[in-house]
Structure 1
Amino acid sequence: MVLRPVLSHTHHVHPGEKVAILSPSWAGPAAFPRVHELGLRRLREQLGVEPVEYPTTRRLGATPQERAADIHAAFADPEVRAVMASIGGSDQLLVLNHLDADLIRANPKPFFGYSDNTNLLIYLWNLGIVGYHGGSTLVHLGRPGAMHPVTLESLRTALFERKPVDIAPSPDFGDENGRWEEQVESTPEPPMRPGSGWRWHGEERRVVGPSWGGCLEILDMHLRSGRHILDPAAYRGCVLLLETSEEMPSAEYVYRVLMGMGERGMLGELAGVLVAAPKAWSFERPLDLPAREAYTREQEAAVLRAMGEYRPGVPIVTGVEFGHTDPQLVLPYGGEITIDPAQRRLTVAY
């Protein structure tokens, strides 16, 4: 039986220290340098850290081996205190094959990313290294107009603090975005609407556990490959983080992926589940507000159906803003999360 690795927090970052900016998936900064530069400027001016780029950060078409070499360089550099992905993509799974686990384990440091970066978060989790789900120079840091204050404060806390923090629903919410190629200095902030709050399901019992999970579509790839998925006992007592991408998968797809996890025995080991508010708008599917609300309800129902079949009564919170939407809460990945339904409280250990 493969047991859960011993998870330990890495050091926190101090103002003025270096943060590596990598593109372990798609080198979006090469395609949209203006937006990327805005994200870098905000790292310097609003968060007070010094971003450092690597050879493939802006190199479209870099091989998995080349991207892995940049990951090694960033982790091995003692002056680099944290690593952040510029954006996600679709093939980071191939990069994991070329990583040196001993090098990374000997030089642990916090990694920030989401979406396709779920791959690297899983890899680090298996090595016992706590990461952070969230952060992207091209998306939330490069947001037109200004960074959302909820995103900014959450990223600041994840970078600089090591303490338990109560998080709260955002007062506003958005899932529409403009086109990067059209973004200029005068582009206004994206449209927002009042937040709908979080929804609490399952038994009213307080649970505490380390987080694991991430982007559902990437979890699906890992379930199919099986190389980095551990024995179900490794996830005993974990809080599952679950979010979906701008590909806007159907509710049936969501259910089937969770059914696969259930049949593996993984869902039955969980202490709790946090489900992100899904992105329900894209240029390919520009749904109106009623259709977006229906999509959100259907996806939530798919999660509740699967959990009801494989882990009845488990505490679940849906609508949490840690996915592909705006703003974005940056949550510890492998750090302790407390779900307290009776108090309607979520506490995360940064």
Structure 2
Amino acid sequence: MTHLQKPPALKPGDTVALVSPSSGLAGEVDIEHRVTTAIQRLEQDFQLKVKVMPHALKGLDYVQKHPQKRAEDLNNAFADPTVKAIIAFIGGDDSIRVTEYLKPDIIKNNPKIFMGYSDATSLHLFLYQHGIASFYGPAILTDFAENVSMDDYTTHWIRRTLFDDAPLGNIPTSPYYHRFGLLWHERTHHTPRPTIYNHGYEVINGHGTATGQQLGGCIEVLDRLRNSTVFPDAETFKDKILFLENSEAPLSVPLLAAFIEFLGTSQILKNVNGIIIGKPQNGEHYEAYKRTWQAMLEDLNLHDLPVFYNASFGHNEPKCIIPYGATASLDASNKTFTIHDNACE
């Protein structure tokens, strides 16, 4: 069993640091209204103080060219005793460049919440490698800046996961999802995004109950990282619950098939106890992805491996939070996803 150091839970009055470890989008002028909205909600709805780290709002060009400055913001946020949580503004595509400048000793000696999704997978795996729990969950420009108001499902799981030290328990899917594509113009910021009915989990493979610690991330990022220093070896996946989801750009079916083949040939799929897969953005290729998983698991002779589909995390709004290393169960008979551990202490 992998032991990860858990951070203290948040409480009203705590300070949260905002960082741009992947993309400098938050620093662009036409995004300023979303930054303002998200900060107001952190302060008013969650009663938190906000500290924007020095390089987080320097724009796309600067942030892309200065991975060491992104790392400096992260190192300083972990070292700052007043900061209790760190949240990414948005994903991107190269946070792996930040990891070589991170200081593990500072991070390990100052455990605190780090949360983000998508390209933040690189940072989560770095933290996992160094024994630090982290949180695959909401980002500032997406969830905290949601048009009109934050979603109740998202805020519920933020409070239950980050502000509480009790076991998380049963996590159902969100009753609805937002269709991706309403542009982030200021003129549409007060226009609610349409909601679409969402159904519960689908069990697309296997049977019984699978239990294990959670490990995973965004498929496209994991695929890029497979030969990197942060990608876990096959043995690390032993007895884990693998969580996977794809980004907002529809993943081609051949690329998904190639990724599943990699998981199979590298023995990762034989090592895990179960898999939970996030709903594709907008439900795009929903049936094609499902059939691809089913066919390839059949070819790999993994008929008994429990696989859940249509989960509400990652590139979905609303979303829950997946704590790395927390013990979870997939009960195929009852179609329930349960996290048995507390995420924070």
- Per the normalisation by structure 1, the TM-score is 0.91
The one-character-per-residue Cα deviations of 1:54-100 (angstroms, maximum 9, x if unpaired) are 11110122201000000000111111111110100111111111111
The one-character-per-residue Cα deviations of 1:150-187 (angstroms, maximum 9, x if unpaired) are 011111212111223211122212232311124455x2
Check if 1:12 corresponds to 2:9. yes
Q: Secondary structure at the match of 2:102?
A: coil
Distance 1:218 1:17 in 2: 31
Alpha-carbon deviation of 1:133? 0.7
Q: Secondary structure at the match of 1:150?
A: helix
Contact 2:5 2:133 in 1 (8 A): yes
The one-letter code of the counterpart of 1:129 is: I
**RMSD of aligned Cα (Å):** 1.6
- Per the normalisation by structure 2, the TM-score is 0.92
Unaligned residue ranges in structure 2 (runs of 5+): none
Distance 1:129 1:308 in 2: 35
1:220-299 alignment to 2 at 5 Å? 220-223=223-226, 225-280=227-282, 292=283, 295-299=285-289
Distance 2:108 2:298 in 1: 37
Residue 319 of structure 2 corresponds to 328
Distance 1:86 1:304 in 2: 35
Distance 1:146 1:338 in 2: 32
Check if 1:169 corresponds to 2:173. yes
Contact 2:43 2:50 in 1 (8 A): yes
Count of residue correspondences:
333
Alpha-carbon deviation of 1:298? 0.6
1:90 equivalent among 89, 93, 104: 93
Residue 155 of structure 1 corresponds to 158
Alpha-carbon deviation of 1:306? 3.3
Alpha-carbon deviation of 1:30? 0.9
The one-character-per-residue Cα deviations of 1:215-246 (angstroms, maximum 9, x if unpaired) are 001000111x3311233111101111111001
Check if 1:342 corresponds to 2:333. yes
Q: Secondary structure at the match of 2:143?
A: coil
Check if 1:313 corresponds to 2:304. yes
Give percent identity, aligned residues only: 26
Contact 2:35 2:145 in 1 (8 A): yes
Contact 2:206 2:306 in 1 (8 A): yes
Residue 19 of structure 2 corresponds to 22
Contact 1:216 1:242 in 2 (8 A): yes
Contact 2:5 2:111 in 1 (8 A): no
Distance 2:150 2:296 in 1: 35
Contact 1:5 1:126 in 2 (8 A): no
Alpha-carbon deviation of 1:312? 3.0
Contact 2:213 2:241 in 1 (8 A): yes
Distance 2:13 2:294 in 1: 44
Contact 1:132 1:158 in 2 (8 A): no
